[in-house]
A and B are shown apart, each in its own frame.
Chain A
């Protein structure tokens, strides 16, 4: 067998081995999460090595506990889900409101300091969140935003605006300039051009950016922990779950049910728009 033949066979086999290993490695933890969430804790302790659930032991008690409000003796996730939704949707809408004009300006208009602005948005990205955590913690304590969802939304806007501008700008620049010029000749103002021409054409990328911002806000943990830990009424799902794990002994099966509740919305959303999201994120990768 020649070297070429050998390598073709070898890599041909290795390719499938790699695919199998990677699929197991990525999917198994999520399968395990689901599995434990529908298993009674005694069954798990009895035989931790069994990775399926029989019909007789299948139970949704963990979900019942997680999804019952605190007043009724549950873990109160419905309120946390509402908080998470408020914060994520709020951050998403406000980020778009701010980022769309910004991205348009950066991608289309020549203005004083436009290059510096681009660099600044990138630089923001590079500073550690822990560096911001200290002064924001103090600032919010001073102006009374500590423990409020509004404070959290403001932080998330600042965290997501650079990403949003980066994603939108590469798409805006694919809209042909000639269309905009024609509109300008017809008497459209800049604002009209942006609203009536650029936005409809860039709708998919605006959607992708919106979802991405939503995901970042939904998954965020550090700032929620810093600002909201003392306010159980305002906990987001991430924070609530972590506090639940930290507190009195809670069965692992309940924790896993909580994890499923936390994970499901983003995963569903992501698969609804996977292609759009990955293209929005990596556009430009093939040019770099």
Chain B
């Protein structure tokens, strides 16, 4: 039936079936719109409108108490943005966010890739180990953040206990509360480093899942041929496997970057934003709940989103094309 209706109209001088086709088209269109509209409404009311409102609030001088009495159109001002850019904490916080995001994104993808390579070939117990490896990703963030806190605690944590006992540490290291720590004379941003490690630990399974799924789709013939040619395992990885994985790696980079850049709960639960881990998302929360300064919090959130959009734009401008070339 479809083959008949979809025959090009030009060959048929007076297509008799056109009215029915149009009817079906219209019916399909109507059903489609009807089926999507519940989703659309929810997304519109709970996501799109709030975002637009945040943008408006960013240009108004409002506190939570005023908002009940004040209408939608308050006094417009650039004061919030001036305060955001003018406060010394903002730039360092943005910098922290960037370091945290890039570190965690790279960390989780590299570890995920290493894990996927190690588990690529089948062996006894692989399913079990694969399942274990997904634990950090599945478990609730509150629970895992608390376990890390206890593990790394200077007085009763097992890490510090072993470190001082077996690894010759002079004194326990306050992993989550110390801003900077000297390792062989070089200052290391300790707390920030720990949160990056946590984020890497929690999200490498995500990269692992995507990479191993892609690896399974790489035709075995390619590598078998390369083995016959006497290539080393490293060469096979570098010249055969890696090029096949690049599109997925690029996708993971974008996804993980976006998610980590906006991340609130992990850092908030681990350090509360102290000791040099004051990422912008945590600052927004603090402005909102500690000072009830809706305008300033909104301005801060909008700036965060704009920075993210600009960075993504740059990424797609420079790498988007490259990735497509690799793919074709």
Contact = CB atoms under 8 A, between A and B. Distances in A.
Interface of A: 3-4, 7-8, 11, 15, 18-19, 22-23, 25-27, 29-30, 32-33, 36, 44-45, 48-49, 51, 97-99, 101-102, 104-106, 109-114, 117, 120-121, 124-139, 141-142, 154-155, 157-158, 161-162, 165, 181, 185, 190, 215, 218-219, 221-222, 226, 237-238, 241-242, 245, 252, 255-256, 258-260, 262-263, 266-267, 270-271, 274, 278, 281-283, 285-286, 288
B302 A22 contact: no
B42 A271 contact: no
B14 interface: no
B264 A129 contact: yes
Contact of B2 (A99, A181, A218): A181
Contacts of B57: 134-135
A218 B140 contact: yes
Interface string B30-62: 111101101110110011111101100100000
B305 A127 contact: yes
Interface in B257-272: 258, 261-262, 264-265, 269
Nearest to B150: A252
B115 interface: yes
B256 interface: no
A111 B68 contact: no
A270 B288 contact: no
A126 B236 CA distance: 36
A90 B155 CA distance: 42
B29 A127 contact: no
B36 A134 contact: no
Contacts of B28: 109-111
Interface string B279-321: 0010011001100001001100110110010001000000000
A51 to B, nearest CB: 6
Interface size class of B (residues with CB under 8 A): 35 or more
A134 B35 contact: no
B146 A130 contact: no
Interface of B: 1-2, 25, 28-33, 35-36, 38-40, 42-43, 46-51, 53-54, 57, 64, 67-68, 111, 114-115, 117-119, 129, 131-136, 138-144, 146-148, 150-151, 153, 155-158, 161-162, 165, 201, 205, 209-210, 213-214, 216-217, 230-234, 247-248, 251, 258, 261-262, 264-265, 269, 281, 284-285, 288-289, 294, 297-298, 301-302, 304-305, 308, 312
Given A154-B46, A262-B140, A266-B140, A8 B233 contact: yes
A263 B43 CA distance: 29
Given A7-B233, A98-B42, A267-B139, A134 B301 contact: yes
Contact of B147 (A29, A44, A110, A126): A29
B303 to A, nearest CB: 10
B29 A112 contact: yes
30 contacts: A4-B231, A7-B233, A8-B233, A19-B119, A22-B118, A30-B147, A49-B165, A51-B158, A105-B35, A105-B36, A111-B29, A114-B36, A121-B43, A126-B308, A128-B261, A128-B281, A129-B262, A132-B47, A132-B50, A133-B284, A136-B50, A154-B42, A158-B43, A161-B42, A161-B43, A215-B138, A221-B140, A237-B140, A281-B209, A288-B214
Interface centre among A44, A111, A255 (most CB of B within 10 A): A111
A22 B288 contact: no
Grouping DSSP codes into helix (H, G, I), strand (E, B) and loop, the A interface class, with mixed when no group exceeds half, is: helix
Nearest to A282: B213
Given A221-B269, A237-B140, 12 more contacts: A110-B28, A111-B29, A124-B43, A128-B305, A134-B284, A138-B53, A142-B68, A155-B46, A157-B46, A221-B142, A259-B146, A288-B251
A49 B39 CA distance: 52
Tell me which of A3, A44, A128, A282 has the highest count of chain B C-beta atoms within 10 A of its own C-beta. Answer: A128
A15 B115 CA distance: 9
Contacts of B297: 134
Contacts of A114: 32, 36
A136 B53 CA distance: 9
Nearest to A36: B150
Nearest to B121: A15
A35 to B, nearest CB: 9
Contacts of B205: 26
Nearest to B68: A142
Contact of A102 (B36, B155, B214, B232): B36
